[in-house]
Structure 1
């Protein structure tokens, strides 16, 4: 058995994003990500083979998506408690995270 605290061990300042696997099995991975002003580099997009369920625990973020059928870019603003399910292979990126407040993400890859 392993215990921890999702809100614990948060370094300050955060010069770069911090990634930590909380649970990892053959079928599911749960990850905590800490951000503070970081974003996906311009022109880069994620499109992983897994579905990704994201809960924004603290902070704020803006995600961008490319709609597969139309190629149109859509933006979604997330605040504390908001979640989104990102289907596998959907192109997405982090456009913005709060520059002075730590953004805590809980991501479930399945």
Structure 2
């Protein structure tokens, strides 16, 4: 078994947001997301079949919800988003990398 590091292999060029599976099984998926000024498309919402626990490991971002108040997440902040709760990323810091850790589970 070889250890890995959430801060390893960060891309120098972030023209597009980076999504990487860390673990993927039938019941759980853990993903590293790297953003720099990226937001969700203006039209539409994430409307997932899975619950999503998400943490900002480094950086800052804002989440918007269809039927709940928006929230700002900074380094160390996390939130659990139940399945079918419509949400989107409204803002990520355009000057610094934001690293997310997302755990999707049934």
Question: Fold conserved (TM > 0.5)?
Answer: yes
Runs of 5+ consecutive residues of structure 1 not aligned to the other structure = 68-72
1:49 aligns with 2:38: no
**Number of residue equivalences:** 105
SS in 2 for 1:74: coil
Deviations 1:22-78 (A, max 9, x none): 0011100000000000000112200100000001000110000012xxxxx521000
Residue 93 (structure 1) aligns with:
88
Residue 59 (structure 2) aligns with:
59
**What is the root-mean-square deviation of aligned Cα atoms in Å?**
1.0
> Structure 2-normalised TM-score?
0.95
Residue 5 (structure 2) aligns with:
5
> Structure 1-normalised TM-score?
0.92
Residue 99 (structure 2) aligns with:
104
Name the CA distance, whole Å, in 1 between partners of 2:98 and 2:24: 22
Name the CA distance, whole Å, in 2 between partners of 1:99 and 1:12: 14
1:25 aligns with 2:20: no
For residue 3 of structure 1, report the CA deviation from its aligned partner: 2.4
